[in-house]
């Protein structure tokens, strides 16, 4: 058919609801992320701690299996309590750190390098929806690795010991949910902010690690030079551990207020949001 015989026909297919339009971004992002065999392999391996914890819970309540494997002593050495679930969550959040370091740098930087933001924002798509759509990629991947399998472990343990245990230990699922989301939101916003300002993906990945490890070293250096403890605020993993201890009612450092740890994580989120608001624009004016 000749070109001049073609008539314009508007799109007449189904329209995505305006409230869920931002989900278009993670849908296409997931298809690209899992094209990497390296990432897919690591993502599958990140479920191993949860599987091991599930086996431990099952063996802990299966007397026949314990007797056959001569693990009765291990039952007393490894009780299934808040500390057990806190350790499992710590391993899971460590895995999300590497997942975010791999995925995060490639979420926003390609759109900035290829000047794709005007194409997004020239449509009925706000900056908030753009950031939310990109962040949903990291939030979904991290949730699947952290609080969702932890809740399944709690359900497994509850099914073996009875619903009374869950009623008496409601703080455990509440602590898991709160600690997971604090870590997920903090690390996701930070990763997106790095991706927005560092356009080269390898450098952004190294910077992701550098902010955590170099900042921790600088915090220790500050403590030594100034003879203070406030440099510890720069150690985000340590701050997260203290918040987790507070949520799980574990022992806390006596010389450091827990409110400071909360403010440290909140400060990272606020700064990351401010950086994203500055960088995510339809056009960039160079002065």
Residue 70 has pLDDT above 70, yes or no: no
Task: Note whether residue 14 is domain-resident.
Answer: no
Residue 66 has pLDDT above 60, yes or no: no
Between 21 and 269, name the one with better pLDDT: 269
pLDDT at 185: 94
pTM score, two decimals?
Answer: 0.83
Kindly indicate the confidence band of residue 76, based on its pLDDT and cuts at 50, 70 and 90: low
Task: Note whether residue 10 is domain-resident.
Answer: no
Task: Note whether residue 190 is domain-resident.
Answer: yes
Instruction: Judge whether 92 and 143 are in contact, CB under 8 Å.
Output: no
pLDDT at 124: 75
Residue that has been written with the tokens 């693990």 in this structure: 71
Residue 1 has pLDDT above 50, yes or no: no
d(CA 135, CA 287): 30
Residue 82 has pLDDT above 60, yes or no: yes
Between 1 and 29, name the one with better pLDDT: 29
Q: What is the DSSP annotation of 4-24?
A: GG-------SPPPPGGGGGGH
Which residues, in sequence order, are CB contacts of 286 under 8 Å at separation 6+?
none
Q: Which structural domain, as residue segments, surrounds residue 252?
A: 20-279
d(CA 139, CA 133): 10
Q: Over range 251-273, report the average pLDDT.
A: 83
Task: Note whether residue 214 is domain-resident.
Answer: yes
Residue 61 has pLDDT above 50, yes or no: yes
Lowest mean pLDDT among 38-47, 78-87, 255-264: 255-264
pLDDT at 110: 83
Task: Note whether residue 125 is domain-resident.
Answer: yes
Q: Over range 180-197, report the average pLDDT.
A: 91
Q: For residue 133, which of 121, 144, 122 has the smallest C-alpha distance?
A: 121
Instruction: Judge whether 71 and 60 are in contact, CB under 8 Å.
Output: no
The CA R_g of the chain, rounded to the nearest whole Å, is 23
Percentage above 70 pLDDT, the chain: 78
Range from 23-32, 59-68, 177-186, 190-199 that averages highest in pLDDT: 177-186
Instruction: Judge whether 97 and 216 are in contact, CB under 8 Å.
Output: no
Residue 101 has pLDDT above 70, yes or no: yes
Percentage above 90 pLDDT, the chain: 27
Task: Note whether residue 15 is domain-resident.
Answer: no
> Which phi and psi angles does 282 have, rounded to 5°?
-65, -30
Task: Note whether residue 115 is domain-resident.
Answer: yes
Instruction: Judge whether 127 and 180 are in contact, CB under 8 Å.
Output: no
Residue 245 has pLDDT above 90, yes or no: no
Residue 285 has pLDDT above 60, yes or no: no
Q: What angle do CA 70, 56, 166 make, to 5 degrees?
A: 125
Task: Note whether residue 142 is domain-resident.
Answer: yes
Q: For residue 238, which of 252, 224, 221 has the smallest C-alpha distance?
A: 252
- Collapsed DSSP state (helix, strand, coil) of residue 102: helix
pLDDT at 179: 94
Instruction: Judge whether 154 and 89 are in contact, CB under 8 Å.
Output: no
- Domains of the chain: total: 1
Which residues, in sequence order, are CB contacts of 66 under 8 Å at separation 6+?
59, 60, 72, 74, 75
Kindly indicate the confidence band of residue 23, based on its pLDDT and cuts at 50, 70 and 90: confident
């Amino acid at each position: 058919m000749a070109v001049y015989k073609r008539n314009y026909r508007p799109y007449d297919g189904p329209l995505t609801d305006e409230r869920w339009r931002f989900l278009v971004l993670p849908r296409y992002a997931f298809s690209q992320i899992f094209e990497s065999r390296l990432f897919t392999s690591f993502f599958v391996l990140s479920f191993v701690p949860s599987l091991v914890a599930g086996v431990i819970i099952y063996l802990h309540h299966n007397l026949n299996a314990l007797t056959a494997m001569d693990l009765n002593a291990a039952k007393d050495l490894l009780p299934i309590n808040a500390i057990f679930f806190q350790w499992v969550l710590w391993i899971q959040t460590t895995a999300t750190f590497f997942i975010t370091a791999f995925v995060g740098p490639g979420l926003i930087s390609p759109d900035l390098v290829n000047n794709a933001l005007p194409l997004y924002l020239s449509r009925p798509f706000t900056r908030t929806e753009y950031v939310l759509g990109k962040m949903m990629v990291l939030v979904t991947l991290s949730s699947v690795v952290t609080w969702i399998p932890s809740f399944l472990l709690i359900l497994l343990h509850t099914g073996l010991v009875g619903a009374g245990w869950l009623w008496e230990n409601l703080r455990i699922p509440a602590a898991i949910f709160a600690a997971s989301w604090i870590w997920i939101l903090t690390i996701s916003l930070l990763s997106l902010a790095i991706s927005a300002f560092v356009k080269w993906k390898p450098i952004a990945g190294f910077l992701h690690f550098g902010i955590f490890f170099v900042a921790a070293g600088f915090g220790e250096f500050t403590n030594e030079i100034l003879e203070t403890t406030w440099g510890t605020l720069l150690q985000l993993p340590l701050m997260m551990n203290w918040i987790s201890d507070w949520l799980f009612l574990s022992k806390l450092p006596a010389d450091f207020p827990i409110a400071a740890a909360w403010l440290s994580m909140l400060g990272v989120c606020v700064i990351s949001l401010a950086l994203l608001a500055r960088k995510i624009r339809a056009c960039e004016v160079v002065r």
